[in-house]
Amino acid sequence: MDIAQILVNSLVRASELGLLAVGLTMVYGILKFPNIAHGDYAMLGGYLAFAIGPMLGLSLLWAVPLAAIAFGVLAVGMDWIVFRPLRRQGATVFTQLIASLGLALIVRNVVRMIWSNDMRTFDLPLLKPLRILGASIDLVEIGIIVTGVVFMILFHLGLHYTKLGKALRAISDDSELANSCAIDTEQMIRWLWFAACAYAAVGGFMLAVDHVLFPRLGFNILIPVFGAAIVGGVGNPYGAMLGALIIALAENIILGLNFGPLFDFGGLFEFGFLQLPTGYKPAISFIIIIVMLLFKPTGLMGKR
């Protein structure tokens, strides 16, 4: 097992999952429901970045921020149409969860109608990978890690040193007290959706660049993202970052293990090097989710 390569792959994976998990847990922390559509939001953000660049003749350096802003505005509109009426009616968590599931299906099928089911890739130049401490890493992966770190730092600064961040923390701690302190909750929720979904769009782009872009990308990433949020503690954005790193490490370590000795029965059979297929990666996150819910449902950094 190449430890250096596992660490590099885990940092890349954690950077991708972290941006999505932070947005997901932010929404839960304020609105108290798990947004099933969050993975499809990320996928749509990736498609917007894919479309905006060629449409406006821009490089990805400009297309991705524009896609994030555009999707943040679109997410505010979707909240105004779907979730805001439900909040006003006092809808239950289950009702809002089902609404988010329906919205996920709508987003996915709209993407299929516009871009079809074909897999798409970003037109990036092929570059020779670098060797760092024995691990192979290319400039795209370095860019993903740097982008993830920068956006996490921006999130921390925004949460602690801006009026918006302080207001969102106040609403998360006690929404009734926040209202009594003249904090406009609905306005803050609009900013919440904008920020969470802009982060999702950037995370979706990073996933698409590292892998491929296709309509089921959001659905496929949903379990690892929920796993990161649950491991860290749902509602805790810093826990989501920690959870993303734990999920990424677990995936890469388990996929790198040799399971052959477990099945050779003391040399009776010879399996050689036996690895878990990469298609089972979501199962790793699912097992971690089950274990956390059984033994520590509040997560590593969650509140009781």
- pLDDT given at position 292: 92
Please give the Cα distance from 275 to 139 (Å, whole number): 28
Q: What is the pTM of this model?
A: 0.87
* Distance, CA of 160 to chain centre: 22
- pLDDT given at position 280: 82
Q: Is the pLDDT of residue 247 over 60?
A: yes
DSSP notation for 242-304: HHHHHHHHHHHHHHH---GGGSSTTTTS---S----GGGHHHHHHHHHHHHHHH-TT-SS---
Please give the Cα distance from 192 to 78 (Å, whole number): 13
Residue 302's pLDDT band (boundaries 50, 70, 90)? low
Please give the Cα distance from 14 to 151 (Å, whole number): 13
pLDDT digits (tens, 9 = 90+) for 161-175: 888 888 888 777 766
Please give the Cα distance from 254 to 232 (Å, whole number): 20
Domain ranges of the chain: 3-214
DSSP notation for 174-201: -HHHHHHTT--HHHHHHHHHHHHHHHHH
- pLDDT given at position 266: 58
Cβ(164)–Cβ(191) below 8 Å: yes
pLDDT digits (tens, 9 = 90+) for 48-93: 988 888 877 778 888 888 999 999 999 999 999 999 999 889 889 9
